[in-house]
Amino acid sequence: MPFHSHKLPNGLQVIGETSPSARSASLGFFVRTGARDETPEVSGVTHFLEHMVFKGTPNRTYLDVNRDFDRIGADYNAFTSEENTVFHAAVLPEYLPQAVDILSDILRPSLRDEDFNTEKNVIIEEIGMYEDQPGSCAYENAKRLFFADHRLANSILGTVQSITDLRRDQMHAYFQRRYIGPNITVAVAGRFDWPELIQLVEKHCGAWQSGPVGRDCVRETPGSGGFKVVTKEKVTQEHVILMGGGPPADSPLRHAADLLSMIVGDDSGSRLYWALVDPGLAESADCSYHEYEGTGSFYTSFSGEPEEAESNLEIVLEVLRDTGRDGVTEEELQQARNKILSRVVRASERPKGRMIAVGMHWIYQHEYRTMDDELKAYEAVTTKTIREVLDRYPIDRVSTLALGPLTSLKQPKRNGRK
């Protein structure tokens, strides 16, 4: 599948992977800005701004935005992470010009005071909703404990207080700094005409402001090694999360880290599954690898009856210690590899999956990677490579957060950073 790349004079990057056999096209605007780019005074502004982008422009009302997407049968949405805000739409190829028009238009939002004040209440309600979800609440607390003074500790949603105090002029200033040409990548995958796409993007985005871009605190961190219990009396289960350091997003060890996390804690057939879930000791147990710019983390969690939390934590730490000491087997590695290769291939069969993959690879690795490149990278991982990950990022060197009805939890002797 041919790959194309073009940069506008204002610094906006356009990339595309054409697939003549595809029956649709998927388009995404990747804005390199997220919670880690916020200061305490504007905590939650990135996610709030994502909402405001859909509230209307000088050319379209809120209703117009939704109606125009619906008229072309678009599957559209957006998401905000610690590092990126992505606006995307999947359409039939003949409607790609309209999709470019709508997405580029809403990325120049009006940010009207009336909309800002109305949406502020929506964000506050969303914060309350996530506070009522033990898993989400535990993750936020665990991330804050692990990253400590690192910018990745910043909350994506912010707090009720930070959103209440946020002013429209602060959001506008943040928008002007971050939503500029050099900080945006437009990625397209599927069936489309590349020269036509460039003309469309130049027409709608060529006049966007340029300027300097940057990101503070891009550094690796092993985590705080902290241990904390958060009591939520109305929560029936205890949710325990252990976070340890991992390879950053541009590390050659990232594929090995991904495979390692699957061996340790995939939702079926993993070490944690057999140790906790299959014997009925915990309702859930998993491990995943999260990659970021400059650093990474292994995220291990389990949930279950409060009275089992202490013994289950010992079991999890034993699994992590054994893995760190003994490594993994060839059989485990091959099973994990088969699972990941299947997921990569299935996700890549749809233009949306390829668009997201191509866009993210470009942002983090600064290069185009085909599906075959990814498959070969996973195939190249050996038990020795995973040993490298374990030696550089000890998987049992963790920060631990427990959230639930318990008021205390015995801290294992070997927990924390040594």
132-186 residue pLDDT tens: 999 999 999 999 999 999 999 999 999 999 999 999 999 999 999 999 999 999 9
pLDDT of residue 407: 96
- Report the Cα 81 to chain-centroid distance in Å: 5
Structure tokens of 133?
């979800």
**CA angle, corner 146, sides to 136 and 133, nearest 5?**
10
What was the pLDDT predicted at 213?
Answer: 85
Q: pLDDT tier at 415 (50, 70, 90 boundaries)?
A: very low
Between the alpha carbon of residue 138 and those of residues 230, 249, 252, 282, the distances in Å are 8, 24, 30, 16
Q: Give the separation between CA 205 and CA 211, rounded to whole angstroms.
A: 14
227-404 shares the fold of 3-205: yes
Residues sharing a CB contact under 8 Å with residue 116, sequence separation 6 or more, in sequence order: 52, 168, 171
What's the CATH number for 3-205? Answer: 3.30.830.10
Mean per-residue pLDDT for 266-291? Answer: 97
Residue that the structure tokens 């709608």 belong to: 204
* DSSP character at residue 61: B
pLDDT at 317: 97
* Average of per-residue pLDDT across 332-343: 97
- Given a cut of 50, is residue 418 above it in pLDDT? no
pLDDT the model gives residue 416: 43
Query: Would you kindly state where each structural domain of the chain is located, as residue ranges?
Result: 3-205, 227-404
What DSSP string describes 117-171? Answer: HHHHHHHHHHHHHHHT-HHHHHHHHHHHHHHTTSGGGS-SS--HHHHHH--HHHH
Question: Cβ-count burial of 194 within 10 angstroms (0-12 exposed, 13-18 middle, 19+ buried)?
Answer: middle
Looking from the CA of 100 toward its CB, the CA atoms found within 13 Å total 22
Distance of CA 203 to the CA centre of its chain: 30
57: exposed, middle or buried (Cβ count in 10 Å: 0-12, 13-18, 19+): buried
SS (H, E, C) 101-124: HHHHHHCCCCCCHHHHHHHHHHHH
Give the CA dihedral 170, 172, 177, 183, nearest 10 degrees.
130
Place of tokens 């050099």: 182
Other CB atoms within a 10 A radius of the CB of residue 344 amount to 16
Q: What is the pLDDT of residue 365?
A: 95
For the segment 80-84, the average pLDDT, to the nearest whole number, is 98
Which residues are bridge partners to 88 per DSSP? 28, 77
Give me the amino acid identity at 182.
P
Could you tell me the pLDDT band of residue 414, with boundaries at 50, 70 and 90? low
| CATH tag for 227-404 (out of 3.50.50.60, 3.40.1160.10, 3.40.50.300, 3.30.830.10) | 3.30.830.10
Distance CA 270, CA 255 (A): 17
Query: What average pLDDT does the chain have?
Result: 96
Give me the mean pLDDT over the 85-89 stretch: 98
Q: Please tell me the predicted confidence (pLDDT) of residue 87.
A: 98
Tokens in use for 59?
A: 């050319």
Q: Please tell me the predicted confidence (pLDDT) of residue 214.
A: 84
Name the residue type at position 317.
Answer: L
Residue-wise pLDDT for 10-53, tens only, equals: 999 999 999 989 999 999 999 999 999 999 999 999 999 999 99
How many angstroms from the chain centroid is the CA of residue 301? Answer: 17
String of b and e for 272-296 (b: at least 16 CB within 10 Å)?
A: bbebbbeeebbebbbbbbbbbbbbb
The residue whose two tokens read 């289960």 is 237
